Structure 1
Amino acid sequence: MNKSLGIISLVVFISGCAVNSGIIPMGNNTYMVSRQAATGFSGMGTLKAEAMKEAYSQCIQSQKAVKIIEEIDAKPPFILGNYPKTEIKFKCVAEE
């Protein structure tokens, strides 16, 4: 029973370490959003998709389109605190 409790505690602790910035306004209709995995075992695809979904949600509120300014992704190997991470800087612009 103690071993099970220890494993459950570890899983809860690790899952609580993921970092999601939410939408950060940078001025002039420019924003940043970032996502970081809690471990090195997750892939970049899901993180990037979640960040892009958040960016699109931000711009849709003002009936605008997303224009990506910069994408920064963590480089492997994903060990010793270098976990998968993506940062997206974007603008909400009028649709063409």
Structure 2
Amino acid sequence: MTHHLTDVVLMRLFLLTLLLAGCTTGPTIAPMATAPDVFVLTRESPGGFPMKDKLQAEALEEARKYCEARQAVRQVVDSQTSTGWNMTGNTPRFQVRFRCVPQAEPTPK
């Protein structure tokens, strides 16, 4: 009976872990509350493995595509990089704040 109870508890913990992992969402791009024309994008390293350069490249590329989809050019306002994984649960993180500046119309000749 005890063995069965242990199996049930382990199965529930496993299912709970899967459920919580499924709730994790990817990065979102959102306007800043204090500056609606400035957007914020944060990338965190999954599992806490240090990949700061990759996080930075991915975030900047995603911001570029976001602006490009709006016929605009990405203009970086500022960025921050975390120090990386530690025992308190902090993970490598890169955050970029940017604007989408409308592309200049080509001048007719």
Is TM (by shorter chain) over 0.5? yes
**Distance in structure 1 (CA, Å) of the matches to 2:26 and 2:78:** 18
Q: Is the Cα contact below 8 Å between 1:69 and 1:90 reproduced in 2? A: yes
For residue 25 of structure 1, what is the aligned residue in structure 2? Answer: 31
Select the structure with the greater relative contact order (CA < 8 A; seq sep ≥ 6). Answer: 1
- Please give the TM-score of this superposition, normalised by the length of structure 1: 0.70
Higher strand fraction (1 or 2):
1
Where 2:46 maps in the other structure, the secondary structure is coil
The percentage of aligned residue pairs carrying the same residue is 25
Match of 1:62 among 70, 73, 77: 70
**Distance in structure 2 (CA, Å) of the matches to 1:18 and 1:72:** 22
Q: Which moved more, 1:19-28 or 1:29-38?
A: 19-28
Per-residue deviation at 1:18?
Answer: 6.7
Provide the aligned length of Structure 1 versus Structure 2.
86
**Distance in structure 1 (CA, Å) of the matches to 2:29 and 2:83:** 23
Per-residue deviation at 1:20?
Answer: 3.3
Higher helix fraction (1 or 2):
2
Alignment of 1:1-96 (within 5 A): 16=21, 20-26=26-32, 27-76=35-84, 78-80=85-87, 81-95=89-103
CA RMSD, aligned part only?
Answer: 2.8
Unaligned 5+ runs, structure 1: 1-8
